[in-house]
Chains A and B, each alone.
Chain A
Amino acid sequence: MKRLSQILDKAADICGHIGSGLVPIMVVMVAVEVFMRYVLKNPPMVADEFSAYMLVAVSYLGLAFTWRRGGHVRITLLVGRLPVKFAGWLRLVVLIIIFIFMIALTHSAFSMVVYAYEINLRSDTWLTFPLIWPQLTVFIGFLMLTLILPTDIVKVYRKIRAGENVEDRPK
């Protein structure tokens, strides 16, 4: 279980790193577009479209990575005041609910990708870029978050059994 958790954490990190690698690429791509437009008077006209696809990738590939770092905002006003054990069980239930929601989202993303593949869905710009690629990042992002949630559920369960405070988020 520990090994599986480590592998999934590593996979989430890799997705996050890919997303973070795209940020400087976006900077350079848009900067080059601006330079070519104003200095060389010959813009490649691809930055708008590709930077938006990269934004999709950055946003969703980073979901699990951000989750691991406690980056998704939540209100702990009430749960922070509950008895440790009760708060632990509540967090367990919450994680299971989110896990079920993420399964539905991942299924939805899978259907989207399959549809894009089947009909060879392309952008309606002059590039007619295959949309399966940016849509695939949505699926991978949702899938990664879905996969790391069970490990969180197990970690929280173990903490409850050990009488620890689950609000010290699993890292």
Chain B
Amino acid sequence: MSLALMSLILLGGLILLLAIGVEIAPAMGLVAAFGMIVFVGHPLDYFARAAFEIMNNFTFTAIPLFVFMGAIFSNTGIIGNLFRGAEKIFGNLPGSMASSVIVANAIFGAISGSSLAAVATFGKICFPEMEKSGYDVKLSLGAIAISGTLSVLIPPSVILIVYAGWQDVSVARLFAGGIVPGIILASLFVLTITIRVMLNRKLAPPVASASFGERLTAIIDLLPFLFIIFLVLGTIFSGIMTPTESAALGAFLSLVMSIIYRRLTWKDLVNSAWTAVGITSMIAFVLFTARLLGQVFQFIGLTEAFAVFMTNLPLSKYAILTVICVMYLVLGCFFDALSMLVLTLPFVAPIINELGFDKIWFGVFYVVLAEIGLVTPPYGLNLFVLNGVVPQYEITTIFMGTLPLLIPTLILVILVVLFPDLVLWLPGIIY
């Protein structure tokens, strides 16, 4: 059977299964099973071994631990202190509450690797306060939805851990690569909000500046969070601990902190562990079926043929990169970041290698692109999660609020392409 026909059957089958609503992991598994039996002639007995082997991996152990750590902070409501602390520090800026959501989320991003947890938690804590203070609904919801995306870029990031395991690159270097773009993006979000409020004063109430004493207290309130971030990331970057060990340390400290704040209940602890199990199970199912599907694509020669086709196009490397960008922006409207990554990586990784782009750079670049997918309909997960928190507002209202804040993300995409050192500088210094 020709490669074209085999590819058509496999890709067509996958699209069909996804379209009729089969869960992404079983859809990939079904196509992989079909390909394995019909095209590869491999017995299905191999499937369970692949499932075991892919998760029997110390690097991936960091995933439930970082998710657990973030869930402890969000379930106990401790991160409300982040928002209130940032609000006092940035109180002089026009639209300070919206900017505080961004800053608080950036800090939370350095604690948690999950965008959805960030959106759900900040939606619950911040939106009522912003609404009560007279902030424009779209501005408030937009700031909450978009700032959640910082959690996937600023380390620790679950997606970056998966990418590292998949591409066999250093998690620590990837984490270091995400820091500068994360800070730039958070700054661009704050700048955009400030400019918008300055141009249209109706978007936010007049600023109520905090006294020096209040700001000092706010900084002191933020110190425990900064200490944990410093310890978790510091031990990774200094090479003292592996990301998994740092994740365990961070999770342990989050428990200690929530006990000190007297916020930890048995229910919070159980819910946090459930969150970790839910996300880890979902990731495991997607990872192992995607790995098998990738192997089928590789075996029939599709990935190699696609890479050869793309690199032989009469286009410059940046034009090909633009094609890949557009592909991710379109796919991001339909897929979550993880599924999109593992589905496309077997095809994209050889092209990226062939074109000479750095693997660390591409990992961070992918995450920036995937962030856009988190807030674009019809499948922007952050929009759905926030809609679940504030069901009185339509998804379109939330999306209209995030739309102006997509401009900074697109600016970052361009900056990262023009200046790769924004990503590679810090890993280069540390390692």
**Chain A residues with a Cβ under 8 A of chain B:** 16, 19-21, 23-24, 26-31, 33-34, 38, 48, 51-56, 58-63, 65-66, 69, 71-79, 90-91, 93-94, 97-98, 101-102, 104-105, 107-109, 111-112, 134-135, 138-139, 142
Contacts and interface: CB of A to CB of B under 8 A. Distances in A.
21 contacts: A16-B274, A20-B277, A23-B64, A23-B276, A27-B255, A52-B60, A55-B61, A72-B24, A72-B26, A72-B282, A73-B282, A73-B336, A75-B334, A101-B30, A104-B33, A105-B51, A108-B47, A109-B48, A109-B51, A112-B49, A134-B56
Contacts of B180: none
A54 B22 CA distance: 28
A27 B65 contact: yes
B358 to A, nearest CB: 28
Given A34-B248, A77-B378, A79-B20, 13 more contacts: A16-B277, A28-B252, A30-B244, A48-B58, A52-B55, A58-B280, A59-B285, A63-B281, A72-B25, A76-B21, A79-B21, A94-B22, A111-B45
* Chain B residues touching A, range: 35 or more
B248 A31 contact: yes
Interface of B is mostly: helix
A117 to B, nearest CB: 14
Interface in B271-308: 273-274, 276-286
Contacts of A24: 68, 255, 269, 273
A138 B251 CA distance: 26
Interface in B232-268: 240-241, 244-245, 247-249, 251-252, 255
Nearest to B334: A75
Nearest to A16: B277
B331 to A, nearest CB: 11
Ordered nearest first, which 4 A-B pairs have the shortest CB separation?
A: A59-B284, A30-B248, A20-B273, A62-B281
A93 B25 CA distance: 17
Contacts of A16: 274, 277
B415 interface: no
B339 interface: yes
A105 B29 contact: yes
B44 A108 contact: yes
A130 to B, nearest CB: 13
Given A71-B278, A75-B24, A56 B249 contact: no
